[in-house]
Structure 1
Amino acid sequence: MGTRLLHSPQRVIHTPIYYGWLMVLIGGLGVFFSAPGQTYSNSIFIDYYIRDFGWSRSLVSGIYSGATLIAGFLLMFIGRMVDRFGPRIMMTIVGALLALACFWNSFVFTPVMLFVGFLTVRLLGQGSMTLLPNTLVPQWFIRKRGRALSLMMIGGFAGATLAPIFNAWMIDHWGWPTAWRIWGILLLVVFVPLAAIFVRNRPEDVGLVPDQTGSNSQPDPSAALNETNWTLREAMQTHAFWLILLCVSFPALVNTGLTFHLTSIMEEQGLGVSTAALVLSLMAGIGFPMTFVGGIAVDRYPVNRVLAFVFLLQLSFLVLILNVHSVTTAVLFAVVWGACNGLGQIVLNAIWPQYFGRRHLGSIKGIVMAVTVVGSALGPLPYGMTYDWFGGYTEVILATMTCPIIGTAAAWASKAPEKDVI
């Protein structure tokens, strides 16, 4: 039944340009509207919760980590639902539910309500609204997959750049509850209708093939025919699957821990909230052009080698953050951090369909996103506990440096698997 739902014949679409580029646009909007569940957006609200309700930083960090952890495990089921029902239905439903989650967060006043709020926005926002576009776009491209993903990620970096500033502005003018409600309204008015009306699951469903140059051009199905598809069970039997999965967890852990406590880290080093906002925005701004570099790189070079380079950049910005004591050094840190994230997001999204094919990508990416979210859940709490115990973050940052060291070795060893075809 699931296969029929996903691959049911639809009317052939004729457009002046390849319809897949519209999927890239809507996918980019989806990643943008994952913002309410992303740490770069939630981090702006944290200090207001602590101030208004008298909660400790460790309590809020623990609630956030616990909710994120549970959301991560639930994402495995979301991935299977994507394979069953297709991105179109799932993007429409998830977008509407995320809007409701934003409205819920505007009314929180107890730790339990905060936990439910964090759980829903992390599951539906950070998890599902990132999973769905990264499952949809690779269905439409094979040879140009890296470039398509890099264009899609414009939405992600636009969200990372604008959401912290937008949140701070809304909170300053109307308060944090209204800020949450505005996000909910935008989701219902902008994203949900576009997903419901225009998204199509696969090019084959509408008489097209991946990478087609235009609707009226002669289809070239050779790339799709030569593609090797792995089921989730088959993929899990390869060494590459587990090595890449390990690599996936490290950026999530490191970035979430740093982003969640960035304001506090900057204040500890003699800088303020404005510097933290500058770092987040600049990091996203630098990451944006680096996605194009990443898209070209994964289309031309072995993707695992590019991933190993990403981890060397991660080690570099962890060294830099320990030496941020001025706006100048903060800017340098933001530049390296942004370059790392820009490359990393493209590589970690391109490697799965490149290694394991498109047919079961939803189930595979569901596991990947689950590990991503669980990795992000493990980030904030150690940072918060280290601050409460030692009055700073130096110890936890030094410990975090083991992640890129292990990641470099794992990436280098994760060569593309070969499937025996009988």
Structure 2
Amino acid sequence: MLKVSPKNLLEPNYPFAPKNFPFFYGWIILIVCTIGVIMSTPGQTIGVSAFTDHLLAATGLSRLQLSNAYFIGTLTSGLILPYGGVLLDRFGARVTVVCASIGLALTLCYLSFSDRLATIINNTFPIIPYSTIALVILVLGFVCLRFSGQGMLTMTSRTTLGKWFDRRRGFVSGITGVFVSFGFSIAPLTMSSLIDILGWRNTWLAMAVVVGMGMGLIGWFFYRDNPEECSLLMDGKKHTQNSFDTKHSSDNNLQDFTRAEALRTIMFWVVTLALSSQALIFTGITFHIVDIGAEAELSQMQAVSIFLPQAVVSTIVGYLMGIAADRVPLKYLFTVMMLGQIIGVAAITNFGVPLFRVLTIVGFGITSGCFGTLSAVALPRFFGRTYLGSISGFQMMILVIASAIGPSFLAIFKDKLGSYQPGLYGCLILAILILIFTFFARQPRKSHLLE
């Protein structure tokens, strides 16, 4: 009988051996990693957006001040994410996902009484303006929220999934993308409903319990770093491989880029910039969607109602992308993603017109569906698994920084020019430039590294 100790608790075969399952354990990994990404919703902008107006009312900060706090917090979390990737490579997915879940839960508890904490500190040190205290408290909260949720929990789940599949990676990423896209898209409506029932503080506290205890236990019980530590192989292949599998494995070994080598390829930057533009644009628009709708003379319900049909489009596209990712060069799929982004941004500049609202739903549905699949498939496909954590950490840093810029970028135009329109046109130009850049992408080879 295995003696239980802190070390044994993290053994791959404790509390059960994945190799004893009657089917390939990677399918369990698919399920729990999908849950992991969905559980990161409170740390995603689409999850924060439902609480924006409540934080404004509770703290008394202006929309620009709150956007700047979100920017600083997200930027800071992005800058430390590469170290999170290194820790993921060192300690593995199981430890990392549990720590990220607990960290996100504690952060949600902290944010739920952030305004009251600001009041307590202001009463203790009345010489310091309340707005300054509230700003600092929210910056700290956003740093932890974005690092644990959008950063580590998401990155760990996607990286782990990529390590368990090879030839079926596009298919399983497409399945994940279906549920994640749908989950993210309905998040604003779901959270708004919960806030109406429980209040914004109790909604955050309820989510803290679900993420901290629920995801923490799921992470410890089911997550495993890679199939090899469980005496398994990717895709459920047998140890006695045929010649095709041997050759395929050998090709993968040639693709084990270090982080430094990956950064010297054009493909890394094509992938990263495409995903980052989605993070910047979609985050900025989602954060201000109610106000963008108000500018177009739409009610709050009309503005947020685009997310549900967008979820339907995103779900369909995510499934199709998963199938295509195993058959079509990813370069062309990134082109589709950027075209969808361009349609969405161009359409939302005329948000008040019903036809353009439909095009907004279609465009952002396409790009969101592509994002979920391609963000999981691209890095392991091009750069291998050995240094996947550190490479993903660097890429995630750029994505998080981009998402930090989005809300403040649009808020500046609203504050200085009185409209989001110029900022949206700037986003459209960015998307077009990145689309052009994708035409220069090529399959990375170590012999082609940039000097």
**What is the TM-score of this pair, normalised by structure 2?**
0.87
What is the correspondence of 1:251-262 to structure 2 with a 5 Å cutoff?
251-262=278-289
Q: Residue 305 of structure 2 aligns to a residue in which SS? A: helix
CA contact (8 A) 1:247 1:410 kept: no
Contact 1:308 1:407 in 2 (8 A): no
Q: Does 1:66 align with 2:72?
A: yes
- Of 121, 124, 143, which residue of structure 2 is paired with 1:119? 143
Matched, 1:176 2:203: no
Look up the match of 2:443.
416
Per-residue deviation at 1:60? 0.5
Amino acid at match of 2:379: W
The answer (yes or no) to whether the contact 2:104–2:212 under 8 Å persists in 1 is no
2:230 paired with 1:224: no
Within 2, Cα distance between the matches of 1:347 and 1:405? 19
Within 5 Å, which residues of 2 pair with 1:8-407?
Answer: 10=13, 11=17, 13-109=19-115, 110-212=134-236, 222=246, 223-227=248-252, 228-327=255-354, 329-407=356-434
Cα separation, partners in 2 of 1:348 and 1:407, compared to 1, 3 Å = farther
Q: Distance in 2 between matches of 1:327 and 1:99?
A: 39
Structure 2 gaps, min length 5:
1-7, 116-133
Quote the offset at 1:161 in angstroms. 3.0
Task: Give aligned-pair identity as a percent.
Answer: 29
Question: 1:403, CA displacement in angstroms?
Answer: 1.5
Which stretch shows the higher mean deviation, 246-255 or 38-47? Answer: 246-255
Residues 31-51 of structure 1, C-alpha deviations (whole Å, 9 max, x = no match): 111111111111111111222
Q: Is the 8 A contact 2:178 2:369 kept in 1?
A: no
Q: Distance in 1 between matches of 2:250 and 2:225?
A: 18
| TM-score normalised over the length of structure 1 | 0.93
Contact 1:92 1:195 in 2 (8 A): yes
Distance 1:8 1:41, change over 3 A: closer
SS at match of 1:379: helix
Letter in 2 for 1:67: G
In 2: Cα distance, 1:196 partner to 1:373 partner: 26
Residues of 2 paired with 1:121 and 1:283: CA distance? 25
Would you say the 8 A contact 2:12–2:224 is kept in 1? no
Query: 2:347 & 2:269 partners in 1: Cα distance?
Result: 30
5+ long unaligned stretches in structure 1: none
Describe the SS at the equivalent of 2:410. Answer: helix
Aligned CA RMSD, in angstroms, stands at 2.1
Q: Distance in 2 between matches of 1:330 and 1:236?
A: 38
Task: Write the letter of the residue equivalent to 1:94.
Answer: A
**1:378 aligns to what SS in structure 2?**
helix
1:46 partner SS: helix
Distance between the aligned counterparts of 1:154 and 1:186, measured in 2?
A: 22
Shift of 1:158: 3.7
Conserved in 2, the CA contact under 8 Å of 1:8 and 1:205?
Answer: no
Per-residue CA deviations over 1:371-400 (Å, capped at 9, x if unaligned) read: 000011111112111111222111111111
* Alignment length (residue pairs): 414
Q: Deviations over 1:292-351 (max 9, x none)?
A: 111112211111121122111211111111222245542331122111110133123311
Paired residue secondary structure (1:270): coil
Runs of 4+ in 1 over 4 A off after TM superposition: 7-12, 216-221
Residue 15 to residue 62, structure 1, CA distance change in 2 (3 Å):
same
Cα distance per residue 1:237-280 (max 9 Å; x no partner): 22322333333321111111111111111111111111222112
Asked if 2 retains the 8 angstrom alpha-carbon contact of 1:282 and 1:331, the reply is no
Q: For residues 202 and 404 of structure 2, what CA distance do their matches in structure 1 show?
A: 26
- Greater Rg, structure 1 or structure 2? 2
